[in-house]
Amino acid sequence: MRLRYLLAAAFAACLAVAAPASGLNPQHAGLQVALRAQGLYLGPIDAIVGPRTLAAVRTFQKSHDLHVTGIADGSTRRALGPLGKPLFGSRQLAKGMFGWDVAVLQFLLDRHGLRVPINAYMDGPTVRGLERYQRELHLTADGDAGPATFAALGLQTRVPVRTTPASAFTHYVVKPGDSLTAIATRAGTTVSKLAQLNKLNPARPLLIGTKLRFEAAVASPTAVTSTDAVQVRASLDHWATYYGIDPRLARALAWMESGYNNAEVSSVGAQGIMQLLPTTWSYVETVLLGHPVAHDADGNVEVGMTYLHHLLGAFNGNEKLALSAWYQGERSVRAQGPLQVSNVFVADVLSLRDRM
């Protein structure tokens, strides 16, 4: 994943265009399409704010009596009319829609090799291209771009996406010997709150296997919250076994990424034992699992093993290709094969596995 971490730093989290930039931000494709519609930008739709894009922004601002800054701020986007809004990821897209976000979607599909027009209109070719992309990513191929598609695109391209907040709950499955009182005490909540949230009658027996929900501020009572090596290994072994992954491979990968340190945060925001970016976490929750996962050490391992299981499946169980995809990205491996830096990482992990 580290190569993808470095790529992530190339994307800005906002649309401010203060100076010519060599970095690519897919949101800027929407800006270029809007400027092209004004007859001010005739360059390629490449999402790179170079001198021509910057000059077009300034010319537009001057002609509309706006403060000439070269920054595509809210006032500038409003003046651009229907093509100046909304930002990509802020609404679900369906056939017939028109706007900035549609242009960004088309740009992203085009970059994935799906030849679609970049005209800010959700037309037939765009819908068909989207359906193909969704099939490739094992999403529901309905031709609508919603949270699952946005999560997939965000993971693969690092586009800053305005995502829908995840459900504010975590969960716990009742085990033999549990009681509602004991669970509530360990979780730091009350029996009444727990019963009300889960629509339970506290006077009735609590059935083994019942899945309880907690408010996000409450930790799961059995979650691994520290980075004690014994606890981390137990968590790794549990989730690896759950997904049919070699536990030694899981331990080796986690050790290479963080040294079993859940407090580890990289310079680009990769977090925890498995060193996961927020976009990877969102992809796993939204696309692979379909439910939120607690943001603790055990949850970090669960998300990491879920994603590794996905990669192993995507490459027919080939561990070397799956680990390369973990390091440099799934689509990158498919497009150009493992890079040399990935080969070194994979060799290190597999060598370490034999000692775990």
CA atoms within a 13 Å half-sphere pointing along the CA-CB vector of 336: 7
pLDDT digits (tens, 9 = 90+) for 146-201: 888 887 776 655 554 444 444 445 667 777 667 777 777 666 677 777 888 888 88
Q: What percent of the chain has pLDDT over 90?
A: 32
Count of H-run helices and E-run strands, the chain: 16, 2
Sign for the CA dihedral angle at 80, 83, 86, 87 comes to: negative
Q: In this predicted model, what pLDDT tens digit does every residue of 201-235 receive, in sequence order?
A: 877 888 877 888 776 543 443 333 344 677 888 89
CA distances in angstroms from 64 to 81, 126, 176, listed in the order given: 12, 32, 69
Question: How is residue 11 written in tokens?
Answer: 């994307």
Distances (CA, A) of 118 to 91, 124, 159: 18, 12, 17
Q: What is this structure's pTM? A: 0.52
Q: How far apart are CA 60 and CA 222, in angstroms?
A: 58
Q: Classify residue 227 as left (phi > 0), alpha (psi -120 to 50) or beta.
A: alpha
Tokens of 276: 């996961």
Fold exhibited by the domain 170-215: Membrane-bound Lytic Murein Transglycosylase D; Chain A (3.10.350)
Tell me which CATH code domain 229-353 carries: 1.10.530.10
Higher pLDDT, 14 or 322: 322
Q: State CA 179 to chain mean position distance.
A: 36
**What are the beta bridge partners of residue 232?**
none
Taking only the tens place, the pLDDT of each residue in 82-116 is 899 998 888 889 988 999 999 999 999 998 888 89
3-state secondary structure of 170: strand
Indicate if 229-353 has the same CATH topology as 2-157.
Answer: no
Domain borders along the chain are 2-157, 170-215, 229-353
Handedness of CA 259, 264, 268, 270 (dihedral sign): positive
Q: How far is CA 63 from the centre of its chain?
A: 39
- Note the CATH architecture for domain 2-157: Orthogonal Bundle (1.10)
